[in-house]
Amino acid sequence: MPGMNSGVNLSNPVVVAAFKAALLHQGLIVLLILLVFGLAWIGARAWLRRGAGGGTGKQASGSPAPVLAEPAWRRLLRIGFGLLWLFDGILQAQPKMAVGLPSQVIEPTAASSPAWVQHLVNWAATTWSYHPIQAGAAAVWIQIGIGVWLLAAARGTGSTLAGVASVGWGLVVWVFGESFGGIFAPGLTWLFGAPGAVLFYCVAGALIALPERLWYSPRLGRLVTAGTGLSLVGMAVLQAWPGRGFWQGGQHGTAGTLTSMAQTMAATPQPHFLSAWVGSFASFTATYGFWVNLFVVAALTVIGAAFLTGRPRLIRPALIAFAVISLAAWVFIQDLGFLGGLGTDPNSMIPYLLLAAAGYLALVDVSPAEAAAGVTAEPAGWRDRFQPASLRRSVAGASYRTVASVCAVGIIILGAAPMAVAQANPVADTILAQAINGKSATLDTPAPAFSLTDQHGRTVSLADLHGKVVLLTFLDDTCSTDCPLIAQEFRVAGQLLGADIQHVELVAINYNPLYTQLSYIRAFDSQEGLTRVRHWLYLTGSTPQLQHLWSAYGLVPAQLLPAGAMLAHGDYAFVIDQSGQLRRELAFDPGPGTQATKSSFAAELTDAARQLLGQS
C-alpha cells in the first residue's frame, strides 16, 4: 500500500525526540488547562455565591430535584471504558508509534482485507505518515481526553456527549486503524480479536449516551445480553467452520491458524515468563489443536445460548465461564495485546467482557420503583439553560466532575487541533527529511560560478541567474536510484512554490563524467517529467568542466565503478541566494523515496527558498 510507510526507521532518534518533545509541550499545556479551569471554577463559584448572598446554588434554585443513582451497568461501562481509553492513550505515547503505527500496525491489519478496505485505510494512514508527530500526539490526547471525560461525567449532557465522543472516535479507529475489525478479512475469529476491540468501545459509548429514562428499562438488559449471546454463537459458528485452519494443530509440519498465531505472539518482545506461557500454549495447540478448537466452539456455543435465554440464573454462571475463557485467551493467545512497543490497546477480551457483564447487570439491577418513576425531573430546555441566571446557577453549582469534563474536552481539542491544522498542508513534514539526513548546514560564501549548457542547448551561467533564488543539485543522468528521486523532489518543490517559482530557478548540474551529452540530459528530463517544469534547468558540459565544478562545490567526485555498478556519487542540494551567495547545504540522500519522504524533501527546499524570498 503506497503512502502508509514513510520509510523512516521506527526508532529514528530525530522523530522520537520530536514526538517526545511534542508530548511534553502538550502535557504542560494540559496541566495549564487543568490549573486555569480549576482556578476559574473556584474563583467563579466563590464570587457567584457571594453575589447570591452567601447561599448555595442549590438553595437559590429551590428544592433540589430527586436524583437517581447511576445504575451499576452504566457505571461499569463508563469507568471500565474510561480506564481503557486512558490506557490506550498512554500506549499511544510509546516512542515507535509516530512512525510505526501506519506501517507496522495499520498496514498488516489491512493486508488481508479486500482492496476497497485497503484503499480506504491507505488514504488515512498516508495522512498519518505525512504528519507523524501531530498524528501521534493527537491520538494520545484524544484518547486520554475521552477517558477522562467518561470517568468524570457521571450523568447529564456532559456524560451523554462523552459517550458520543467514544462512539465517534471509536468508529474512526475501528474503520481506519482496525480495518473494520477485520470483518471483511478471511481469518475472522473471536480468539484473535474479532470483530475489533474498538467496536466494543463504540457499543459501550452508545449505551452510555442513552437518555436517563432508558437507564432502568428491563428491555435494555435483555437486548444487551441477547446481543452478546448472538455474537458469541456467531463466533462459535465461525470457529467451527471447516477449512479455516482452526481444527488442525500442527500436523505435517504445518502450523494451524491458532498455533501459528500463538507462535507469532510468543516471538513479540515481552517479559520472558509471558513469552514462555504463550510458547507453551502454542506447543499444546500444535499437539491438541482439534480438541482446543472443539472446546472453544463448545464453550462459545453454550455461553452464547445461555445469554440468549435472558434468564439471570443461567447467565450468571455463563458470565463467569466467559470471564475465565476470555482471560485465558487474552493471556495465552492475544498475549495481552499491548506489548512489543506498538500495541495500541489490550485487544478485545476485556472490552467484550465488560460489555457482557454490563448486560447482566442491566438485567438484574433494576429497581421497579426507579424504573416506574423514570427520570425524576424534567431537564430545563436549551434556551432556559443559557439565561444569565441559569448560567450563574450552573457555574456556582458546578461540581469537580463538571470541571474535569470541561478539561477533558480541552485535552481532546489540544490533540485534535494541531492535527487538523497539519492536514491543511498536504505536504509531508520536513521532519521526515531531517530524520534521514539531519538538519541542513548554514553557509555564507560565494557560490562557485559556472557556465554550462542547458537541456535546450543554451549557455547558462550562475551570473545569468542573479536576482533569483537558486535551488541547486547534482544529478547523474543514468542513475537508477537516488537521482530520479531527487529530481522528483525538485519537481514537487516547483509545484509547491506556486507563483513564487518566478523568483526561483531549479537547477541540476550533471554528475556523470561519461554520459555528458545533451541527449542524456533530455532523456533524463523526459523520464522524470521535467520537460514542462517551469524554471527547471539541467546543465551539462565537458567532463573537465563538470569535474572542476564538483570540486568547487566540495562534492565527492563521481567515480566510475567496475562490473556493472552505478556511478558512485553523493546526494546534495544547495540553496543560493539572489546575490549568488551559498546559503544552505542540504544533505539530500532521499532515503527510502516514499511518497512521504519525497514530499518532505520538497517541503524543505520550498521552505528554504521562501525564507530567502521573504528576506529580500
Partner 1 sequence: MRLPARSPAVVLVLASALAAGCGAAAPSARPPAAEAPPGGAPFLATSLATAAGTWAVAVMGGTAAAHNNFWQLFLRPAGSTQWKLATPPGAADNGGLVVAGAGGQSLITGFRPSQYLTYTPLVTTRNGGQAWAPAGPLDAAVANVPDALAVAPGSGQLLALLSGGTAKLAAAPGYTRWSRLTTQPAIAATAPGRRCGLRALTAATFTPSGTPLLGGTCARPGTVGVFADRNGTWQAAGPRLPAVLARQPVAVVRLASAANQTAALLRVGDGGAARLLAAWSADNGSHWALSAPLPLGSTRLSSVSFGAAGEAAVTLGGNRAQAIAGPGAAWRPLPALPPGTATLALGPAGTIDALAVHRSLLTVWQLSPGASGWHASQTMDVPIQYGSSG
267-296 positions binding partner 1, by CB under 8 A: 268
Smallest gap from Cβ 337 to partner 1, in A, equals: 4
| Residue 255 interacting with partner 1 (CB under 8 A) | no
Instruction: Return the range that interacts with partner 1 (CB under 8 A); candidates 120-128, 281-289, 375-383, 538-546.
Output: 120-128
| Residue 148 interacting with partner 1 (CB under 8 A) | no
Choose which of 63, 424, 499, 532 interacts with partner 1 (CB under 8 A).
424
Residue 239 vs residues 112, 115, 236, 265, 534: alpha-carbon distances, Å: 18, 25, 5, 20, 61
| Residue 150 interacting with partner 1 (CB under 8 A) | no
Choose which of 22, 41, 88, 576 interacts with partner 1 (CB under 8 A).
88
| Residue 81 interacting with partner 1 (CB under 8 A) | no
Choose which of 14, 194, 433, 452 interacts with partner 1 (CB under 8 A).
194
592 by Cβ neighbours in 10 Å (0-12 / 13-18 / 19+) ranks as middle
Between 165 and 366, name the residue whose CB sits nearer to partner 1.
Answer: 165
Smallest gap from Cβ 126 to partner 1, in A, equals: 8
509, 450 contact by CB (below 8 A): yes
Instruction: Return the range that interacts with partner 1 (CB under 8 A); candidates 27-35, 61-69, 236-244, 485-493.
Output: 485-493
Residue 584 vs residues 357, 569, 594, 600: alpha-carbon distances, Å: 63, 20, 24, 17
How would you write 107-121 as a 3-class SS string?
A: HHHHHCCCHHHHHHH
| Residue 566 interacting with partner 1 (CB under 8 A) | yes
Smallest gap from Cβ 600 to partner 1, in A, equals: 10
Smallest gap from Cβ 72 to partner 1, in A, equals: 27
Choose which of 321, 416, 443, 587 interacts with partner 1 (CB under 8 A).
416
Choose which of 149, 176, 307, 588 interacts with partner 1 (CB under 8 A).
176
Choose which of 21, 420, 441, 449 interacts with partner 1 (CB under 8 A).
420
Smallest gap from Cβ 75 to partner 1, in A, equals: 25
Which regions of 394-531 does DSSP assign to beta strands (E)?
A: 441-446, 451-453, 459-461, 469-475, 504-510
Instruction: Return the range that interacts with partner 1 (CB under 8 A); candidates 175-183, 238-246, 305-313, 352-360.
Output: 175-183
Separation of alpha carbons 609 and 602, rounded Å: 11
Stretch 333-352: interaction string toward partner 1, x if CB under 8 A: -xx-xxxx-xxxxxxx----
Separation of alpha carbons 276 and 262, rounded Å: 11
Choose which of 14, 68, 106, 608 interacts with partner 1 (CB under 8 A).
106
Between 125 and 470, name the residue whose CB sits nearer to partner 1.
Answer: 125
Smallest gap from Cβ 108 to partner 1, in A, equals: 7
Which residues, in sequence order, are CB contacts of 164 under 8 Å at separation 6+?
205, 209
513, 477 contact by CB (below 8 A): no
| Residue 546 interacting with partner 1 (CB under 8 A) | no
Virtual torsion, Cα 51, 54, 58, 59, nearest 10 deg? -110
525, 506 contact by CB (below 8 A): no
Q: Which residues of 73-112 are buried (b: 16+ CB within 10 A; e: fewer)?
A: bbebbbebbbebbbbbbebbbbbbbbbbbbbbbbbebbee
| Residue 94 interacting with partner 1 (CB under 8 A) | no
| Residue 538 interacting with partner 1 (CB under 8 A) | no
Segment holding 581, helix H or strand E: strand 581-587
| Residue 127 interacting with partner 1 (CB under 8 A) | yes
| Residue 499 interacting with partner 1 (CB under 8 A) | no
370-399 positions binding partner 1, by CB under 8 A: none
Separation of alpha carbons 38 and 34, rounded Å: 6
Separation of alpha carbons 82 and 150, rounded Å: 5
In sequence order, what DSSP letters do the residues of 583-600 get, joined into one string? EEEEE---TT--HHHHHH
Choose which of 5, 6, 26, 92 interacts with partner 1 (CB under 8 A).
92
Instruction: Return the range that interacts with partner 1 (CB under 8 A); candidates 20-28, 76-84, 213-221, 480-488.
Output: 480-488
CA pseudo-torsion sign 538, 543, 549, 550 = positive
- The Cβ-side half-sphere exposure at 37, using a 13 Å CA radius, reads 20
Choose which of 33, 68, 98, 125 interacts with partner 1 (CB under 8 A).
125
Instruction: Return the range that interacts with partner 1 (CB under 8 A); candidates 157-165, 166-174, 227-235, 236-244.
Output: 166-174
| Residue 101 interacting with partner 1 (CB under 8 A) | yes
| Residue 265 interacting with partner 1 (CB under 8 A) | yes
86, 147 contact by CB (below 8 A): yes
Choose which of 68, 173, 501, 504 interacts with partner 1 (CB under 8 A).
173
